[in-house]
């Protein structure tokens, strides 16, 4: 039996990177998946899941749209009859625009996807989970939400908000049997971080990638997926309201401010 055998699960941002790795891992562990993304990559993810013998349906949706969030949750309920877990993973990068040059519109869009998106996932999943008396919510935050120096201002602020959302929601759900936790990726090789890796290769400094953490390397999407799997599963039944760095030990000292790759 897989750790998610028979469970109905939603993963947002499933079209690539961490979301795709999680989709493949969760379905190998027996989950019935609704894969959500606003790009056509979500169908490729579902095709890979099905090729491997898993069960999945694709939904193209904007994680920051309440209408779309309601629709993808309804899809899970209609397809599988219940909702056991949701990983609000969709997010966008804010870049490294100087603070004095950042616009309100820039901030609003990052907050809409990275923070309002998880809020909406939480808001619209908990009525179904609390009714059945169990459920697990996972949100993707970031080490940038824990301490400064890992990313730009709006991205870091959005991810700090996700961590606070997780902590406050855990107490809002007291006694319901529903758990919520966050994963905080460090430098993971995904489409979002591709410019970092590409720029390092252009400068001939790729050997420096990941050298600021004790493991001396960047992480891979499957390593985040493994943490998400644990949190979504019943094995984490006493884990609640926490934010877990998956960063090679980087946040043990956070030495990277002022030391660009």
88 vs 199, residue with greater confidence: 88
Q: Quick check: 184 pLDDT over 80?
A: yes
Residue whose token pair is 């949706």: 61
pTM over 0.85: yes
**Percent of the chain predicted with pLDDT > 70:** 88
Q: Which residues pair with 12 in a beta bridge?
A: 36
Chain Cα centroid distance, residue 28: 19
**In angstroms, rounded to a whole number, what is the distance separating the alpha carbons of residues 150 and 52?**
36
Q: What is the dihedral of CA 9, 15, 20, 22, to 10 degrees?
A: -30
Give tens-digit pLDDT for 190-225: 656 656 665 656 676 666 665 778 888 888 999 999
* Sheet order of strands, 55-60 included: 55-60, 32-37, 8-12, 85-88, 135-140, 178-185, 243-246
Q: Across residues 28-46, what is the average pLDDT?
A: 98
Q: Cα angle vertex 24, ends 27, 12, to 5°?
A: 90
What are the structural domain ranges in the chain?
A: 8-188+221-244
Q: Which element (helix H / strand E) includes 243?
A: strand 243-246
CATH number listed for the domain at residues 8-188+221-244? 3.40.50.720
**In angstroms, rounded to a whole number, what is the distance separating the alpha carbons of residues 128 and 134?**
9
Active-site annotation, residues: 155
**In angstroms, rounded to a whole number, what is the distance separating the alpha carbons of residues 257 and 71?**
41
């Amino acid at each position: 039996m897989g750790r998610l055998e028979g469970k109905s699960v939603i993963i947002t941002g499933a079209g690539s990177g961490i979301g795709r790795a999680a989709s493949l891992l969760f379905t190998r562990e027996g989950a019935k998946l609704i894969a959500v993304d606003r790009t056509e990559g979500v169908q490729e993810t579902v095709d890979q899941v099905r090729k491997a013998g898993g069960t999945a349906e694709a939904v193209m949706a904007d994680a920051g749209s309440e209408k779309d969030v309601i629709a993808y949750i309804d899809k899970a309920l209609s397809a599988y009859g219940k909702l056991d877990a949701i990983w609000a993973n969709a997010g966008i990068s804010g870049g490294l625009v100087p603070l004095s040059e950042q616009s309100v519109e820039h901030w609003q869009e990052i907050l809409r996807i990275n923070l309002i998106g998880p809020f909406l996932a939480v808001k619209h999943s908990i009525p179904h989970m609390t009714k059945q008396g169990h459920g697990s919510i996972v949100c993707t935050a970031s080490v940038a939400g824990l301490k400064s120096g890992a990313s730009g201002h709006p991205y870091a602020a959005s991810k700090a908000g996700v961590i606070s959302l997780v902590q406050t929601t855990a107490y809002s759900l007291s006694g319901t049997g529903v758990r919520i936790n966050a994963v905080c990726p460090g430098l993971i090789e995904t489409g979002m971080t591709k410019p970092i890796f590409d720029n390092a290769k252009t400068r001939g400094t790729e050997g420096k990638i990941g050298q600021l953490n004790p493991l001396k390397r960047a992480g891979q999407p499957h390593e985040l997926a493994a943490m998400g799997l644990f949190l979504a599963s019943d094995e984490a039944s006493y884990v609640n309201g926490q934010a877990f760095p998956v960063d090679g030990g980087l946040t043990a000292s956070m030495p990277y401010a002022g030391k660009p790759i």
